[in-house]
Amino acid sequence: MIWVDREVKEIIKRKKKLEWVDDMKTPSGRVHIGSLRGVVVHDLVFKVLQENKINSKFTYVFDDHDPMDSIPSYLEYKKWEKYAGMQLYKIPSPVKGYKSFAHYYADEYIKVFNSINCHPELIWAAELYNSGKMNGVIKKILDNADKIRVIYNKAFDKKKPKDWYPFNVVCEKCKKIGTTYVYKWDGKEVHYKCEQKMVAWAIGCGHKGHISPYDGNGKLVWRIDWPAKWKVIGVTVEGAGKDHMSSGGSYDVAKIICDKILNTDAPYPIPYEFFNLKGKKMSSSKGLGVSAKEISSIVPPNILRFIIVRTPIKKAIDFDTNEETISKIFDDYDICLNAYYDLNEGKITDDKRGEVQRDFARIAELSQVHKLPSKRFFIPRFRTIVNLLKNNEDVFNYFENQKKSKLNKEELLIIKERIKYASLNLKKTEITLQVVKELTKSQKEFLKILAKNLIKEKTDDREKLQEVIFSTLRQKNYNAKEVFSGFYIALTGKEFGPKAADLIKSIGKSKVIKILQKSK
C-alpha cells in the first residue's frame, strides 16, 4: 500500500459527510517547482477519496490579496518598487492581457498543474474577502484579539504589544496593505497607522485613519488568515510543507485558533517534505529558483507527476537535470508501468515481491495524465533513445527491429514524445541552471556589520531584529536593494525572500550570524 492509500484510509475513518481537500499559494512571481508537490499530494488524496466513493471536493486558493513583499529579480526594480506593499491583485500584470500581477503568474502555474492532471476548483482570496464572506470571522478574530495575543505569546515565546491586532488594513491614502499597523478595534472600525519603517521591503506613507475591516478593506495576518479560510471555505483536509507542519509551527498555532477562537475543527493534516534541486545552490537563467514551468519543459507530464507520486511524503525529493538522473527516472517509470500490466494480466504473486510489484503498479496508475491503453504495449527505453540521437541513428527503425514488428499508434506516440525530451535533455536549451553570483564588496561589508550587530542583540524578538537590520542600513546609508539582495543570496541562494527578521528567526539567529560571517 503506497502513502496516499494509507492517508485516505485514515481520513475515511472519520466518516464526514464531505471531505473538502484544499491547497493554497501566493502568486507573487514564477511559482517554484517545490510548490508543485503540494498540488499533486492534494490531488492524489482527492482522487483516491473519489475512488472510495467518498463525497469530496478539491479546491486551490490563490492568495492574491497578499502584499508584494519582494520584487522578483527578473523584473526591473525601479519600475516595480512603487508597488511594494500593495496587494498583488491590484498590481498590473507584467504582460498585457491579464487581469493583474497575481493572475499572470497564477495562470502560468495553473497551466503546469493542469498539464499533469490536477484540476482543482480555483478560489481567489481577494474575491473571498471582497464578497464579504470573511466578515464574520474577521469580527470574531478582532473581538478576541486579547486571547490571540496570549496564544502568540505562548507559541512564539514573545510578547505582542497590547495594542496589536492580527489584521492589516489597506491604507486609504497609499493603498498599501503591507505597511499598516492596526492598534485599536472599537467594534465597528479598526484604527491604524501606515508605518514608514515597519518592514524592510516597503515604505508606508504615515497616514493615520480608521475604517471598517469588512468587504476587502484589509486582511487577517497570515497565521490567522489560514484557519479563518478553513472555516469559511469548509476545508477538512489540507497538507503543507514540513516547515509549517513541524511541532509548534504554523499548523499547530492555526489548530489552536480553530479550537479556542473559531469553534471549528482543523483540517486533517498531511505534512510533506520538500521538493529540492540536488547539489549546489542554483538559480534559473533569470535569477530565480527553478520554476514549475521550467521543470515541466524538460520532462513529460506523466513523468513529472510520477516523480511526486512515487516518493513517500515523509521523504524529500532530490531532483537534478543531468542526463543520468533523468534517464534513471524514465527507467523507474517503465518498471512501474510493466508492473501495472503484470497486475492486469494476473502475473503478480501473493508474496513479498508481489506486494512491491503491486505498489509499483499503483504508482503507475496514479501517475497517468491520460488513460493507459488496456493492453500492454512496447515501451522504448529513454536512455537508448538518448544514445541513438547522439549517434544520429534511426530511432524508429531501431525499435521496430527490437520489437520485431511494426510499431502501433501508442508506441509511435511514446517514441515521438521521448525523442522530444531526449533532444531537450541533450541540448539543455530550455533550462539553464547556474551557480549563484558572487557577492559585491558592499554586500559583503553590510553582512559582516550586520553579523556583529546581531551578536550585540541578546534577544530573538522579531521587532528588535528588524530594528538591528534598519540601524545597520543607516550606518553607512547602504543601498537597500543591493544589500538585501546579498542578504537573501547568502541565506537562501536567491535574491529575494520573506521578511528579513522572519528569515533570521526561521533559520535561527546564531546560525545566521555564522553564515553572514563566512559570506564571500
142 in Cβ contact with 220 (< 8 Å) = no
- The backbone region for 29, taken as left when phi is positive above 0, alpha when psi lies in -120 to 50, beta otherwise, is left
Q: Give φ, ψ of 303 to 5 degrees.
A: -75, -40
Q: Which CATH architecture does the domain made up of 441-517 adopt?
A: Orthogonal Bundle (1.10)
pLDDT value, residue 494: 67
- How confident is the model over 338-393, as pLDDT tens digits? 999 999 999 999 999 999 999 999 999 999 999 999 999 999 999 999 999 988 99
Give the CA diameter of the chain.
82
Q: Which of 4-13, 247-256, 435-444 has the lowest mean pLDDT?
A: 435-444
For 74, the grid coordinates are: 527578473
DSSP element (H, E) containing 325: helix 323-344
- How confident is the model over 180-213, as pLDDT tens digits? 999 999 999 999 999 998 888 899 999 999 999 9
For 220, the grid coordinates are: 487577517
End-to-end CA distance of the chain: 48
Name residue, grid cell 483516491. Answer: 48
- Pairwise CA distance, residues 184 & 191, whole Å: 5
CA distances from 114 to 123, 137, 291, 415 (A): 15, 32, 15, 23
pLDDT at 281 over 70: no
- Strand, coil or helix: 73: coil
pLDDT at 19 over 80: yes
Mean pLDDT for 99-123 is: 96
483 in Cβ contact with 491 (< 8 Å) = no
DSSP element (H, E) containing 183: strand 180-185
- Pairwise CA distance, residues 231 & 137, whole Å: 8
- How confident is the model over 282-322, as pLDDT tens digits? 332 233 457 788 888 889 999 999 999 999 999 988 888 78
Q: Given pLDDT bands bounded at 50, 70 and 90, which one contains residue 485?
A: confident
pLDDT value, residue 144: 98
- Interstrand relation of 121-124 and 167-169 (parallel, antiparallel or unpaired): unpaired
Using the CB atoms, write b or e for 178-193: b if 16+ within 10 Å.
bbbbbeebeeebbbbb
> Is the alpha carbon torsion for 336, 340, 341, 342 positive or negative?
positive
pLDDT value, residue 476: 85
- How confident is the model over 426-452, as pLDDT tens digits? 875 334 433 345 688 888 899 999 999
CA distances from 271 to 239, 250, 276 (A): 5, 12, 16
CA distances from 425 to 127, 421, 483 (A): 42, 6, 36
Q: Among residues 220, 235, 231, 296, which one has the least CA distance to residue 270? A: 235
When the pLDDT of each residue in the chain is averaged and rounded to a whole number, the result is 90
pLDDT at 279 over 60: no
516 in Cβ contact with 458 (< 8 Å) = no
411 in Cβ contact with 378 (< 8 Å) = yes
Q: Among residues 73, 76, 182, 193, which one has the least CA distance to residue 434? A: 73
Using the CB atoms, write b or e for 127-137: b if 16+ within 10 Å.
ebbbeeebbeb
> Is the alpha carbon torsion for 300, 495, 499, 313 positive or negative?
positive
pTM of the model: 0.81
pLDDT value, residue 436: 42
As beta bridge partners, residue 42 has none
Sequence spans of domains, the chain: 3-134+226-277, 167-220, 441-517
For 298, the grid coordinates are: 524538460
pLDDT value, residue 488: 84
- Pairwise CA distance, residues 336 & 302, whole Å: 12
Q: Given pLDDT bands bounded at 50, 70 and 90, which one contains residue 514?
A: confident
pLDDT value, residue 435: 36
pLDDT at 98 over 60: yes
- Pairwise CA distance, residues 21 & 268, whole Å: 9
Instruction: Please tell me which residue, 420 or 508, carries the higher pLDDT value.
Output: 420
- Pairwise CA distance, residues 232 & 304, whole Å: 33
Q: Give φ, ψ of 302 to 5 degrees.
A: -70, -30
pLDDT value, residue 518: 79
For 165, the grid coordinates are: 491586532
pLDDT at 399 over 90: yes
- Pairwise CA distance, residues 340 & 361, whole Å: 4
Q: Among residues 189, 210, 206, 188, which one has the least CA distance to residue 197? A: 206
- How confident is the model over 22-64, as pLDDT tens digits? 999 999 998 888 889 999 999 999 999 999 999 999 999 999 9
pLDDT value, residue 437: 52
pLDDT value, residue 520: 65
**CATH, range 3-134+226-277:** 3.40.50.620
Q: Among residues 422, 424, 484, which one has the least CA distance to residue 84? A: 484
What percentage of residues in the chain have a pLDDT greater than 90?
69
Q: Name every residue whose Cβ is closer than 8 Å to that of residue 429 and which is 6 or more positions away in sequence.
A: none
